[in-house]
Each structure stands twice: as structure tokens, then as C-alpha cells.
């Protein structure tokens, strides 16, 4: 599922519309496409708002608010689990039988999917790439 259901979508948009970083004229999170550097309480570094059109971004399952005003499906705990999993695969790129269920569980949780366990090497490689890309995007957004 790549889009969220209507109640979640509406809740996200409602939060954005009340947010001081929301730009009414473009409907974006900060300046359209560019974003803005902002200071967030509790964070040392400034962060950049995403510049996305929230009407579109808020529909996406994996999307999240750069200042955590609304929850993405990918929580910090899930990010940590993905990170640990990818690190273990970098050290030992073998998915043993007793680890394969963990691998699929972590992937399904991170992407809100329901993939069934398979031995298809190409599928697993594609999933690893997807997780690496998502982690990169997440780290970039976190600054
Ligand atoms: S995504 Fe977050 S920072 Fe951006 S407008 Fe919405 S609530 Fe504000």
C-alpha cells in the first residue's frame, strides 16, 4: 500500500495547515521545492523543511514530517531495526534460514507491506536496495 487512508491523510493535512512552516500560497512545507532552514527545539543543527506539496506528500505511506509533527509509518525504532539489519548484511551478506523471517518482518514494517517470505535472490536484493535508499533519504532529511 503506497497511500494512506482518508482519515490519516486528513489528519496529516490538518496538522500541516496549522503549522508555522506551511506556505499557504503553494500548499508546501516551507518554500516550494527548496524548503527553508529552520531551528527546531531540541535539535542542535538547523533542519530544512522539505518544500513538498503537502496535498501530495501527505498521501504517501512512507512520508513523514521533517519536524515529527505527524508520524510517518516509519518510526525511529523501525529505522533502527533497518539500520541494524543492513549493517549485519554488510558484515555477512548471507540470509540464513532463521533470519529470513526477521528480514521480511522488518521490511514489511518499514514499508507497510505484506510481502511473503521467498527465496528469490533478486527479490531480496531489490528489497535491500529499497531499504538502503529509504535509509539514505531518512538520514538526508534528518540532516
Ligand atoms: S510536514 Fe511538518 S513541518 Fe512541514 S508543513 Fe507539515 S507539519 Fe509543518
pLDDT digits (tens, 9 = 90+) for 11-32: 999 999 999 999 999 999 999 9
Residue from 54, 142, 143 to probe ligand 1 pocket by mutation (most atoms less than 8 Å from CB): 54
Residue-wise pLDDT for 59-114, tens only, equals: 887 788 888 888 766 667 777 888 888 888 887 777 777 778 888 888 887 776 78
136 Cα to the center of ligand 1, angstroms: 20
Domain residue ranges of the chain, discontinuous segments joined by +: 6-57, 76-142
CB of 28 closer than 8 Å to CB of 34 = no
Q: Report the interhelical angle of 76-91 vs 97-111 (nearest 10°).
A: 140
Q: Which residue has the least CA distance to atom 4 on ligand 1?
A: 29
What are the respective helix, strand and coil percentages of the chain, to the nearest 5?
A: 50, 10, 45
91 Cα to the center of ligand 1, angstroms: 37
6 Cα to the center of ligand 1, angstroms: 18
b/e string for 61-77 if b means 16 or more Cβ within 10 A? Answer: bebbbbbeebebbbeee
Question: Nearest 5°: phi and psi at 43?
Answer: -115, 135
Amino acid at each position: 500500500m503506497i497511500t494512506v487512508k482518508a482519515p490519516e491523510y486528513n489528519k496529516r493535512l490538518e496538522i500541516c495547515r496549522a503549522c508555522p512552516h506551511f506556505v499557504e500560497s503553494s500548499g508546501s512545507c516551507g518554500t516550494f521545492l527548496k524548503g527553508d532552514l529552520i531551528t527546531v527545539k531540541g535539535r542542535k543543527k538547523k533542519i530544512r523543511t522539505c518544500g513538498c506539496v503537502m496535498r501530495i506528500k501527505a498521501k504517501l505511506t512512507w512520508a513523514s514530517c521533517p519536524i515529527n509533527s505527524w508520524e510517518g509509518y516509519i518510526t525511529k525504532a523501525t529505522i533502527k531495526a533497518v539500520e541494524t539489519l543492513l549493517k549485519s548484511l554488510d558484515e555477512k551478506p548471507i540470509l540464513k534460514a532463521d533470519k529470513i523471517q526477521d528480514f521480511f518482518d522488518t521490511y514489511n514494517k518499514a514499508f507497510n507491506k505484506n510481502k511473503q517470505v521467498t527465496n528469490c535472490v533478486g527479490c531480496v536484493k531489490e528489497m535491500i536496495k529499497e531499504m538502503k535508499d529509504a535509509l539514505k533519504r531518512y538520514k538526508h532529511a534528518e540532516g
